[in-house]
């Protein structure tokens, strides 16, 4: 199997590269950086490519493309988010017009204004979003499904695991004096997605025949307070969540939309965010496992 992976220097892309090379696949890894750590890529061949700038002039001959590259800065510069997430997706499709495309999207395409309760794939995208990231991801999904040849769109939620560069770091930067301020009560349910499980789903999608959209998550939702404590403990951080009623922080978030606690953060922590993964199990052969947070590995 010959595979191309975009966003290979990132958290998810690196996991996909390592899983594919471990399976004996021939992998070409792409990323924006000039060079990449071969261990992160599992030994895959690496080529620099800024997908937002242009399509590839000399794409490799591959059987499938797993498109992981994205700008995940929800409060960042909107132009950069759109450039990478939508224009970049257009350039990936243009570079590999005859390949099976596996597009790693996000459960952020579901309605941010109401709880997501065991959401099924047809419930997203929607017409309004709270940030450029979700809106651009939704637009990229529509593009992939309209242009691709039997493409697969995967929607994970709250991806976690060793090497996390997004979810856990954002939590840690908000820890103050041993407390992590969190909107809500900590009792709402959330679907988490282990990065290794997402990588396995990408490989199943690349080799399978099923097409369409699939939610990808761990086997069962968990209370968000339990998940937060597990993430902090796995990082070796002696901190505990401090819950703040959403009604108290919402007015502040409206006045300061780029603050640490904005409307998007409130929508993710104070409302249920769970996914129905039946389609992935039945049609992709995805085998979910329970959410677990291995302790931090100590250096010796």
Tens digits of residue pLDDT in 169-224: 888 988 989 999 888 899 999 999 999 999 999 999 999 999 999 999 999 999 99
29 within 8 A of 3, measured Cβ to Cβ:
no
Q: What is the DSSP string of 73-140?
A: -TTS-HHHHHIIIIIHHHHHHHH-TTSEEEEE--GGGS-TTS-EEEE-GGG---S--SSHHHHHHHHH
Mean pLDDT for 52-64 is: 96
Residue 140 domain flag: yes
pLDDT on residue 244: 87
Query: Mean pLDDT over residues 72-100, rounded?
Result: 88
Confidence of residue 77 (pLDDT cuts 50, 70, 90): confident
At CA 5, angle to CA 147 and CA 80, rounded to 5? Answer: 70
For residue 268, the model assigns a pLDDT of 84
294 falls within a domain = no
Taking only the tens place, the pLDDT of each residue in 263-285 is: 677 788 889 999 999 999 999 99
Span 16-39, mean pLDDT? 97
Structural domain includes residue 264: no
- Is 70 exceeded by the pLDDT of residue 74? no
**Is the model more confident about 252 or about 130?**
130
Domain enclosing residue 46, as ranges = 2-160+193-217+275-284
User: pLDDT for 88-106, tens place per residue?
Assistant: 999 999 999 999 999 999 9
Contact at 8 Å (CB) between 114 and 271?
yes
Domain annotation covers residue 185 = no
Mean pLDDT of 154-177: 91
**Could you tell me if residue 29 is inside a domain?**
yes
Q: What are phi and psi of 256, to 5 degrees?
A: -120, 75
| 57 vs 254, residue with greater confidence | 57
Beta strands in the chain (DSSP E): 2-6, 26-31, 45-48, 64-67, 100-104, 116-119, 152-156, 159-160, 179-183, 189-190, 193-194, 212-216, 222-223, 240-244, 273-275
CA 65 to chain centre: 16
User: Residue 91 maps to which CATH number?
Assistant: 3.40.50.720
Report the chain's terminal Cα–Cα distance, integer Å: 38
Give the residue-averaged pLDDT of 48-61: 96
Q: Within a domain: residue 18?
A: yes
Query: What domain count does the chain have?
Result: 1
Average pLDDT of 220-245? 93
**pLDDT value of position 61:** 97
Strands 2-6, 193-194: pairing kind: unpaired
Residue 269 domain flag = no
Decide if 178 contacts 239 (C-beta within 8 A).
yes
Q: Are 195 and 10 in contact (CB under 8 A)?
A: no
**pLDDT surpasses 50 at 153:** yes
Residue 183 within a domain: no
Q: How many CA atoms does the CB half-sphere of 244 hold within 13 Å?
A: 15
Q: Which two tokens stand for residue 133?
A: 């990231």
């Amino acid at each position: 199997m010959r595979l191309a992976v975009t966003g290979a220097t990132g958290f998810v892309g690196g996991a996909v590269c390592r899983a594919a090379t471990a399976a004996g696949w021939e992998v070409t890894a792409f990323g924006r950086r000039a060079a990449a750590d071969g261990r992160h890529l599992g030994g895959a061949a690496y080529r620099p490519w800024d997908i937002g700038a242009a399509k590839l002039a000399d794409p490799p001959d591959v059987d499938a493309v797993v498109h992981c590259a994205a700008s995940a800065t929800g409060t960042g510069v909107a132009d950069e988010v759109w450039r990478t997430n939508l224009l970049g997706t257009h350039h990936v499709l243009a570079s590999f017009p005859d390949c099976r495309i596996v597009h790693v999207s996000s459960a952020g395409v579901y309605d941010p204004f109401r709880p997501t309760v065991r959401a099924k794939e047809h419930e997203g995208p929607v017409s309004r979003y709270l940030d450029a990231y979700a809106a651009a991801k939704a637009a990229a999904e529509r593009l992939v499904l309209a242009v691709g040849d039997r493409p697969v769109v995967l929607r994970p939620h709250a991806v976690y695991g060793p090497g996390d560069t997004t979810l856990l770091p954002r939590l840690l930067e908000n820890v103050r004096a041993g407390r992590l301020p969190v909107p809500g009560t900590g009792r709402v349910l959330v679907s988490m997605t282990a990065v290794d499980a997402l990588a396995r789903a990408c490989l199943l999608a690349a080799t399978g025949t099923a097409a369409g959209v699939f939610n990808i998550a761990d086997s069962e939702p968990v209370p968000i307070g339990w998940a937060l404590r597990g993430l902090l403990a796995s990082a070796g951080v002696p901190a505990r969540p401090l819950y703040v009623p959403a009604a108290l922080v919402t007015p502040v978030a409206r006045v300061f939309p780029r603050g640490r606690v904005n409307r998007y953060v409130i929508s993710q922590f104070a409302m249920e965010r769970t996914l129905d993964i039946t389609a992935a199990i039945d049609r992709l052969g995805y085998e979910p496992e329970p959410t677990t947070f291995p302790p931090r590995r100590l250096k010796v």
